[in-house]
Amino acid sequence: MTAFTVALVLVVAAAGLLRWRRPAWYWLAFGVTLAALRVLVRYRSVMDACGLTVPPARWRLALARATHRPVPEPRPPRIRRLRPTRTGLVLRLKLRPGQDVFDIAAASDRLRHSFSMFGVTSREVRSGVVEVRMTGYDVLKRVQMPAETETRAMRVPVALREDGSVHYRDYRAIPHALTLGATESGKSVYQRNLVAGLAPLDVALVGIDCKQGVELFPLARRFSALADSPDTAAELLDALVARMADVYRLIRTQQRITVDVPDAEIAADIWDLPDELRPTPVVVLVDEVAELALYASKEEERRRDRIITALVRLAQLGRAAGIYLEICGQRFGSELGKGITMLRAQLTGRTAHRLNDETSANMAFGDIAPDAVLAAIKIPAELRGLAIAGDASGGWHRIRAPHTSLRQAVNLCNRYADRTPDLPELAPFRSTTGTATELVPSAKASTATA
């Protein structure tokens, strides 16, 4: 064997090993070039085989006949751009007359295996131009968020989508959200990622965690208020409703001052207020909503009604006052009592992790995206953290959050502890930091170094 053959065998073996153990690295090292070549070489025949070509124009046929040239071939959509990405390829196609986006979408499964890619999705960018996103490997198997994400005010990256793009939680577009999932399906990890994303921003975090506070209390240093029992939760929610009334009062006075100002400049929510007057936005995280909605006695029922009423009011009016709800639960249906369906109608962002039954999936998507129900049911049990995310527009995506451990989240919250705003009305619910650090021993070390 020559040295060249030995080197070749080594490279192929290394590539094979990489592809098996670290598909993301394989993709960057070899996969992207091979895939781009494969797509370009096979393009015409694959499009032909998938029925995505159109017959040549009449004048071309006539010209060929007149000049005794060979008959021109059917033409596939023109490739406008082929862009390699961290996880796949993005192909921009200009459709031929008579083709539509649906043709490409319907052929995506055929395109996927013809180009030997892992997944293919398509969407229309503008009339006649389609973006086909292909992934080279299963990006959700081992989620790695890109180093650079576009974080804007109140818009945080939380997960990766199936097509390799980043899934953002945008509070200004979708103020309130509901996250459903069976136990151990990844709800708390998803919520932890949200906290991690929000921690560096100018936002007050409020947590309600009635499962003895195991999920949120370790993160206490970044939280402006925490509740670990339904009683405290009821008081905390009342304080938030009072805060909301104050913010509305502020907005109203602002409007009155600016009577002679054109309509467009009149403050309709906190984001229209001048920076120095704007109240801090608040994100309220509820881990396990059923703990708040269930009751055993008459007295607990009164408390439950008070909690749900406060939540419904926050959901209905909170957006303009910059109060956003993020509610987690295993189920969220009428069996939790009155007011629940009304609350659900306001929680327009929906995320469903693995669910136990179809009714739960219907609770998540039945009223907004019927085909997402099916996708939610099909989530396999072994891929914890995999979820379907949809919103009131009916669009949905398969997503998975990175596996942020509690320790990582605690460290991050401690690092940004000085960003925790002091809201006087929530001060009684501020947890003392001592208990938080005791819960996770390593947090002590990181506080010392921070």
Ligand X SMILES: Nc1ncnc2c1ncn2[C@@H]1O[C@H](COP(=O)(O)OP(=O)(O)O)[C@@H](O)[C@H]1O
Beta bridge partners of 82: 91
Residues near ligand X (CB under 6 A) are 181, 183-189, 384-385, 400-401, 403
Site residue total, Mg ion (CB under 5 A): 1
Q: Determine if residue 444 is labeled as part of a ligand binding site.
A: no
Q: Which residue is nearest to ligand X (CB)?
A: 385
Closest distance of CB 52 from Mg ion, Å: 45
Please identify, using beta-carbon distances, which residue of 188 and 437 lies nearer to Mg ion.
Answer: 188
Contacts of 408 (CB under 8 A, 6+ apart): 196
The sheet that has 349-352: what strands, in order across it? 166-170, 155-161, 396-400, 386-390, 349-352, 177-180, 323-329, 282-287, 204-209, 223-227
Report the residue from 99, 188, 351, 404 that binds Mg ion according to the rule CB under 5 A: 188
230 binds, among Mg ion, ligand X, none (CB under 5 to 8 A by kind): none
Backbone angles phi and psi of 331, in degrees to 5 = -140, 160
CA distance 302 to 172: 33
For ligand X, the closer of residues 184 and 422 by Cβ is 184
Tokens of 363: 């609770």
Radius of gyration of the CA atoms of the chain, in A: 27
User: Is 185 labelled as part of a ligand binding site?
Assistant: yes
User: Do residues 208 and 236 make contact, with C-beta atoms less than 8 angstroms apart?
Assistant: yes
Cα 38 to the center of its chain, rounded Å: 32
Q: Is 183 annotated as a binding residue?
A: yes
Report the residue number, 114 or 193, with the smaller CB distance to ligand X. Answer: 193
Partner whose binding site includes residue 185, from ligand X, Mg ion, none (CB under 5 to 8 Å by kind): ligand X
Q: Whole-number minimum distance, CB 180 to Mg ion, in Å?
A: 12
Q: How far is the CB of 289 from ligand X (least distance, A)?
A: 12
User: What residue 189 binds from ligand X, Mg ion, none (CB within 5 to 8 A, per partner kind)?
Assistant: ligand X
186 binds, among Mg ion, ligand X, none (CB under 5 to 8 A by kind): ligand X
Q: How far is the CB of 405 from ligand X (least distance, A)?
A: 8
Please check whether residue 82 is in contact with residue 89, taking contact to mean a CB–CB distance below 8 angstroms.
yes
Beta carbon of residue 356, minimum distance to ligand X (angstroms, whole number): 12
Contact by Cβ (8 Å): 323, 284: yes
181 annotated as a binding-site residue: yes
- Tell me whether residue 213 is annotated as binding: no
DSSP 38-100: HHHHHHHHHHHHTT--BPPPHHHHHHHHHHTPPPPPPBPPEEEEEEE-SSEEEEEEEPPTT--
| Stretch in the footprint of Mg ion (CB under 5 A) among 182-190, 247-255, 337-345, 422-430 | 182-190
**208 burial level (CB within 10 Å; 0-12, 13-18, 19+):** buried
CB of 287 to Mg ion, least distance (A): 6
- For Mg ion, the closer of residues 192 and 304 by Cβ is 192
Strands 282-287 and 323-329: parallel
Per partner kind, with CB cut-offs from 5 to 8 A, the member of Mg ion, ligand X, none near residue 300 is none
86 binds, among ligand X, Mg ion, none (CB under 5 to 8 A by kind): none
186 is in an annotated binding site: yes
CB of 288 to Mg ion, least distance (A): 7
Which residue from 393, 407, 326, 387 is spatially nearest to 167, judged by alpha carbons?
387
Q: Residues at the annotated binding site?
A: 181-188
Residues in contact with Mg ion by CB under 5 A are 188
Q: Residues at the annotated binding site for ATP?
A: 181-188
